[in-house]
Amino acid sequence: MVREPMKSEKKPGGFWQLLAKTALVLLVLYAIGSLISIRVQIERAEAEAEALAAEADLKERTLDMLQSQAGEEPSEKDLLDAAHEAGYVLPGEQVFEDAYLK
């Protein structure tokens, strides 16, 4: 018994079906890549929002501290420091300046 070689049977539209499946796979891969990219952007934006919130909190606490200090009377030490910075000295006080620092 002699067997005849099998002839490949071509299905009508085989090329177009393969092209359509390939295009579908590529579309799905593109969609997955886009979703991953968007997720990364969301994570970066959330991290930036947290950093900005922390910075805003720090500035708010600093503002509160400065506002509370603005209502207080300056202490004697603060006044003496300001006078020394302006070049004033107490009676009998000697000030030595380093000539090399200027």
- What would the mean pLDDT of 72-96 be, rounded to a whole number? 84
CA–CA separation, 23 vs 31, rounded Å? Answer: 12
For residue 68, pLDDT over 70 is answered with yes
Phi then psi for residue 22, to 5 deg, are -65, -45
> Comparing 47 with 7, which gets the higher pLDDT?
47
Domain boundaries, the chain: 18-70
Spatial distance between the Cα atoms of 81 and 76, rounded to a whole number of angstroms: 9
> What pLDDT score does 4 carry?
66
Specify the pTM.
Answer: 0.48
Task: Report whether pLDDT(5) > 70.
Answer: no
Q: What is the pLDDT of residues 16-65, one digit of tens each?
A: 899 999 999 999 999 999 999 999 999 999 999 999 999 999 999 998 88
Angstrom CA distances, 15 to 11, 22, 26, 28, stand at: 9, 11, 16, 20
3-state secondary structure of 5: coil
Give the position of tokens 């708010």: 60
The answer to whether 31 touches 38, Cβ cutoff 8 Å, is no
